Amino acid sequence: MNKKYHLIFVFLLLLNMVTSVFAGGMSAWQEETPYGHDIEHDGTAGGWICMQIHTSSVCFQHFYFYKGHTIAESKSEFFIINEKTERIQKFTNQEQWRKAITVQKLVPLWKREYNDNYGIDKFAGAILLILVPIPLFLPLLWLFCAISLLFPWAVAGGFRKHFAWVYPVLILAVFLYYNIPQSL
């Protein structure tokens, strides 16, 4: 193996070793909600996610964020968690829960619903950046297209013009998608 590639491999291996490791393995995760509360999954089967709010712990299977709230549900319990005031509303009847969501105007236009894969989804992006050479190729292509627009060159003019603005917009959209978990 080439020495340069060997050093890169060792660097990536060491980088992987210093990242957080949980008892549940790769499926365990811990994240912060948009309002700073801890939300975690221990990696066990069943998909239970627990959220810590001061001394209370709320466990559920599906959730979404909207207007400072975490709306969560499991098979038998339903929650509306106001993260600003740290108030937890618990329901055992799904119809009452849905009615409360409607009354409190917590029905988003576009719902980004999550499950126990919430923390793992972010890990896939990092792996793709390492394993796929496209993240290196596309910025270089964009830089070439942007610089070549300054010079009179007739080859692939339409492609260069469109790629020069489409690529940054695409990067911005992906960045917002990964970093803003709220529903709209």
- Answer whether 0.75 is exceeded by the pTM: no
**How far is CA 149 from its chain centroid?**
35
Are 119 and 29 spatial neighbours (Cβ–Cβ below 8 Å)? yes
> Which pLDDT does position 85 carry in this prediction?
92
Q: What is the pLDDT of residue 20?
A: 46
Helix (H, G, I), strand (E, B) or coil at 32: strand
Q: How confident is the model at residue 110 (pLDDT cuts 50, 70, 90)?
A: confident
Closest CA to 48 of 38, 58, 56, 34: 58
Is it the case that residue 65 has pLDDT exceeding 70? Answer: yes
Tokens 């992006």 belong to which residue?
125
Identify the residue whose tokens are 């291996």: 13
pLDDT > 90 in the chain, percent? 26
pLDDT band at 22 (very low <50, low <70, confident <90, very high): very low
Range ranked top by mean pLDDT from 83-97, 129-143, 144-158? 83-97
Please state, in angstroms and rounded to a whole number, the distance separating the CA atoms of residues 87 and 71. 12
Q: What does the block give as tokens for 120?
A: 């793992």
Summarised one tens digit per residue, pLDDT across range 118-142 is: 766 665 665 655 555 566 777 888 8
| Cα–Cα nearest to 27, from 117, 128, 154 | 117
pLDDT in the model for residue 80? 96
pLDDT band at 166 (very low <50, low <70, confident <90, very high): confident
More confident residue, 66 or 10: 66
**CB 112, CB 64: distance < 8 Å:** yes
**Separation between Cα atoms, residue 39 and residue 119, nearest integer Å:** 9
Q: Would you say 49 and 168 are in contact if contact means Cβ atoms under 8 Å apart?
A: no
| Nearest by Cα to 78 from 66, 57, 95, 103 | 95
